[in-house]
Amino acid sequence: MSDCLLACRKFNFMLSAVWLFYRQFWFFTHAVSWGGWLMAQVPLGDALWMLFGSFFWLKLVSFGVIWYFMHTFSRQNYLFYQNMGYAVTHLFVGAFGLDMLLFFGGLALINWLIHL
């Protein structure tokens, strides 16, 4: 097998692990994100980009709360991922990136549909 194919398989396996990890708390992060968007009176277009920093910090704080509760109450769940060779920090960073991608992708889709 070529090195490129092995790298693609490894990336696919890592993405599957991050998705499995993210599914445990996706509802909470999206509820906080969409709730913050609604509290900001549904900004779209240029107004949305002015609030990008605020949404980033809101999401970062919500991930900190998730990390605290998972680290305190369900630490044994990490063993599954650690046995596959993934560090908890890498899982949270990957899940944070995935959450940002899904949230801002959803906002971009809504913005595009409204201005169609």
Cα separations in angstroms, 43 against 37, 57, 90, 110: 7, 17, 32, 11
pLDDT tens by residue, 75-93: 888 888 999 889 999 999 9
For the chain, what are the domain ranges?
3-114
Question: What is the reported pLDDT for 29?
Answer: 93
Per residue in 7-38, pLDDT (tens digit) is 888 888 889 999 999 999 999 999 999 998 88
Q: What is the pLDDT of residue 53?
A: 87
pLDDT at 45: 76
pLDDT given for residue 6 in this prediction:
83
Sign of CA dihedral 27, 28, 29, 33: positive
Residue 1 pLDDT more than 60?
no
Work out the mean pLDDT of the chain and round it to a whole number. Answer: 89
Place of tokens 């708390």: 25
